[in-house]
Amino acid sequence: MVGRQSIYVRYDRTKGTYVRLLLENNSVVVEQKRAGQAPEELFTYSLPKVEWGEEDLQFDKASVYTKEQTQAGDRDDENEYPVNILGNRSLEISVKGHSVSVSVDQQLILDQQPVDVSIGAGGVAFESQYHEQNEKDDIYDAIFEDVTITSESAGGDRKLLFTNKPSGLTGVLTGVQRSLNRAVDWAVETF
């Protein structure tokens, strides 16, 4: 939720064109960029507030602010999210013809927004950036899990182009590892 995560579709590096979905500090922004132009905002949506507890704030203060700042109670804006808060969002972006649709956490928030006809075929790219609020760490990691890229023909048939979802034996082992990690995390937090 904190920082900036981006998904580019129809990304043409040569022409400098794309459609971009940004998740920035709990807001969704959809932009288009035509060749030789600056990015143009098509849509903005503020997501529901992320719930976080006092322990998130304590960890944030301990890892982001100096001892002197913490003791003085310094914090730029009490409405800001702690920079170390964990959270996941399920994002889906669909570009069909010359329109884009977006779902967040299985809720459709943008339905068939027109996109400039000059933004044609292109690739997919992912990007993450840190938040200026965290002065101690300018490295920001975003994890893009369960990414699936499909192509849909005019007849409605979907063709899988890419997925990073583990399958087969690797998928089973990954599921077991995630379960063990959650159990260890629960034990650490509980005891």
Exposure on the CB side of residue 40, measured as CA atoms within 13 A: 13
Residue type, 169: L
Cβ burial 8-47 (10 Å sphere, 16+ → b, else e) = bbbbbeeeebbbbbbbbeeebbbbbbbeeeeeeebeeeeb
Task: Give the Å distances, CA to CA, from 115 to 5, 8, 67, 122.
Answer: 21, 14, 49, 14
Q: How many other β-carbons are positioned within 10 Å of the β-carbon of residue 65?
A: 18
DSSP letters, 70-131, are HHHT--S-TTSPPTT------EEEEEETTEEEEEETTEEEEEEEE--TT--S-EEEEEEE--
**% of residues, the chain, pLDDT over 90:** 21
SS3 state of residue 15: coil
- The pLDDT score that the predictor gives to residue 124 is 86
Side-by-side strand order, sheet with 123-129? 40-46, 27-33, 17-24, 4-12, 123-129
- The pLDDT score that the predictor gives to residue 19 is 92
Taking 70 as the pLDDT cut, the residues of the chain under it are 1-2, 50-87, 130-143, 153, 161-162, 166-167, 170-172, 174
Closest CA to 117 of 103, 134, 99: 99
pTM: 0.68
- The pLDDT score that the predictor gives to residue 140 is 55
- The pLDDT score that the predictor gives to residue 49 is 77
CB contact at 8 A, 104 and 91? yes
- Separation of alpha carbons 162 and 115, rounded Å: 24
- Separation of alpha carbons 149 and 73, rounded Å: 46
Q: How many other β-carbons are positioned within 10 Å of the β-carbon of residue 50?
A: 15
- The pLDDT score that the predictor gives to residue 137 is 54
Q: What is the pLDDT of residues 94-128, one digit of tens each?
A: 888 888 889 888 899 999 999 999 998 888 888 88
